[in-house]
Every structure is written in structure tokens, then in C-alpha cells.
Amino acid sequence: MKFTAAEIARIIDGRIEGDPHTSVSSFGKIEEAGEGQLTFLANPRYEEFLYTTKASVILLNSSFEPKQPVKATLIRVPDAYSAFAVLLTRYQEIMQQKLTGIQQPSHIEESASLGEHVFVGAFSYIGKQAVLGNHVKIYPQVYIGDHVSVGDNTVIYPGVKIYHDCKIGRSVIIHAGAVIGSDGFGFAPQQDGSFKKIPQIGNVIIEDNVEIGANTTIDRATMGSTIIRSGVRLDNLIQIAHNVEIGNDTVIAAQAGISGSTKVGKQVMIGGQAGIVGHIQLGDGAKVNAQSGVTKSVKPGQAVTGTPAFEYNAALRSQALIRKLPELEKRIKQLEWLIQQLNENSSA
């Protein structure tokens, strides 16, 4: 599929410098791109490749001024990186629109409802009274449980498992191997030291425009719902426990874990491998540094780091002091020796 520079400029509202009829059919990194490919330059560290790349079309920031002539056709935009992301998204949408129909073998219960232009990949299972909206893409080996609803334009990649009664919004992306709606970790201790399982009868609600990374797990609520609000971005290998609520436009990096009933506010940023205990709150705009252990609630806008996590700047000062401890210990021993000598001299 080919696009001219003029067509691309219309999509991203760019300004062309060069031949508007130059066509491209794929994308490439600026240091590797060849003829017929589109690339971009947003980071000045890669400027040297601007003058040697064989790419046919290059996106540039409007404010950037090349130091040498550039052979390729240029498209100027306010933010080349964002514009490139828009083009990648549009390209992916076009490619996915070609996927329609039901591959065999697959199993779809008679009571399930499928919208228009739905794709169901081979070896998938669609349960009783499940509802798939328009333009939903279900890749092979996906399990959709009974009474699950999936909104328009949602894409579910291979091997995803969505348990019964869960609700998935519109334009959601769920990557391979994710599990939505598995039982929360609920067990009641018994007098004999054993643990009795507490039934998890709630569900998971994922609102619109959410992206969930590969092999991430989101547990169903004990009662009520585990809720992922609109615009949330979850990386791979994240664990979200029962009855957790994640606020709008929050981002969480890989291998983070959030324990049960914790409430995470809007536009929170959580770094990789962070661990967050249950039944606390992270206020809107809070930031949790990677590998932090959060044991108490975090105020709106506050940044924390460390284990146990506390205020970021104070933690940095503590770390600086810790590095000085060996030298401080040495100085204390010297002072103790001097005091001892003074005491001995005064006694004499």
C-alpha cells in the first residue's frame, strides 16, 4: 500500500518541502531506512543520519534547520515524533480493517452477538450471551467467557483470556497472554492453620481507550468490580488485584504489582517493579519511582521512591547521607579517640 507525501501531509497537517508526489509504502529507522520508506527525526542526536539516509520521505520538526542539503522530501510538523505515531496508528488501523470473518475451527455460542465487520481468529471461543461490537478483532486462541461484552474497535491479541461477566470498552487493546477476570487472591485463615477460599463473584470493567500489555493479569473483584478507567496504559507483566481502581490516563510500567482494594488516581505514573500494598490511595498525579515499595497512601502530585517509599527529594538526601556513613563512622572513631586522650591527660 503506497502513500504520497501529499497524502501523508494531509493526515498530519504538515508542510511539504520537496516533491509532493514522492511515494512510500513502509516505515524505517532513519539510520536504516531505504528507498520507498518514511522516517522521522525528532532527537538531534540522530541528525547525522538525516544527510545519509536513503528514506524517501522524512518528518521534521518545524523549528529544525538542516546544516546540509537533504535529498529526501521533507514534511514539517510541530512535533515529528507525535506525527510519526499518528501515521503508525493510521497504518495499523488500515491493516486491521482488512481482517474480517470467522476462521475455523472456532466455537461461537448461538446466543452470542457479533457486530459488523468482526474478525474471529481460529481456535477462539466465544461464550454464551457474549456481545462483540462493530469492528472488533479477536486473534487466534482467544477465550471470551459467558456474558462478556467487548466494545467497538477493540483488538484482542492471541491467547488472551477474558473470564465471564467482564466488560471491555471501546477501542481497547489487549496484548497476547493477558488474563482478565481471574479470581482475586482471597483466602480466609482457619483455626487449624489452613486457608479457605473466598468466592470471587465480582467482575472487571475496562473502560474505553485502554491498552493492556502482554501477560498482564487483572483480577475480578470479590464483590463489585475491579475498574480500569479510560485512557489507562498498562505495560507487560503487571499484576492488578481484586477491587483495585485505576484512574483515567494513569500509566504503569512492567512488573509492577497493586494489591487489593487500592485506589489509584488520575494521571498517576508508576515505575517498573514497584509494589503497592492494599487498601491505600494514590492521589491524582502521584509518581512512584521504579522498584519502590509503597506502604501508605500518597498525596496528589507527590513523588515517592524507595522501600518503604517516601518523598522523593527527602529520599535522595537520605541516600546521599548513607553514602557518607563509612567516612562519618571513621570520623566518629577519631573523635572518640581524641576525647579519650583528653580525658586521660586531664586525669593525669
Q: Mind listing the pLDDT tens digit for each residue in 267-311?
A: 999 999 999 999 999 999 999 999 999 999 999 999 999 989 989
Q: Is 237:216 a contact under the CB 8 Å cutoff?
A: yes
Q: Could you check whether the bond before residue 189 is cis, i.e. omega within 30 degrees of 0? A: no
Maximum Cα–Cα distance across the chain: 103
Residue where a domain stops, chosen among 72, 97, 122: 97
Query: Who wins on pLDDT, 99 or 201?
Result: 201
In this structure, the answer to whether residues 178 and 261 fall within a common structural domain is yes
- Residues with active-site annotation: 242
Q: Average pLDDT, whole number, for the chain?
A: 95
Residue where a domain stops, chosen among 97, 117, 132: 97
H helix or E strand, kind and range, residue 179? strand 179-182
Q: What is the pLDDT of residue 324?
A: 86
Domain count, the chain: 2
Please give the average per-residue pLDDT across 137-141, as a whole number: 97
| 27: in domain | yes
- What is the residue whose three cell numbers read 466465544? 126
Residue 164: give the domain boundaries: 160-282
Laid out side by side, the sheet with 15-17 consists of 15-17, 73-77, 57-61, 37-41, 26-27
In this structure, the answer to whether residues 275 and 170 fall within a common structural domain is yes
Q: Supply the DSSP symbol for 45.
A: G
| 214: in domain | yes
| 210: in domain | yes
| 278: in domain | yes
CATH number at residue 88: 3.40.1390.10
- Tens of pLDDT, residue by residue over 55-72, are 999 999 999 999 999 999
CATH number at residue 211: 2.160.10.10
| 124: in domain | no
Residue where a domain stops, chosen among 282, 303, 332: 282
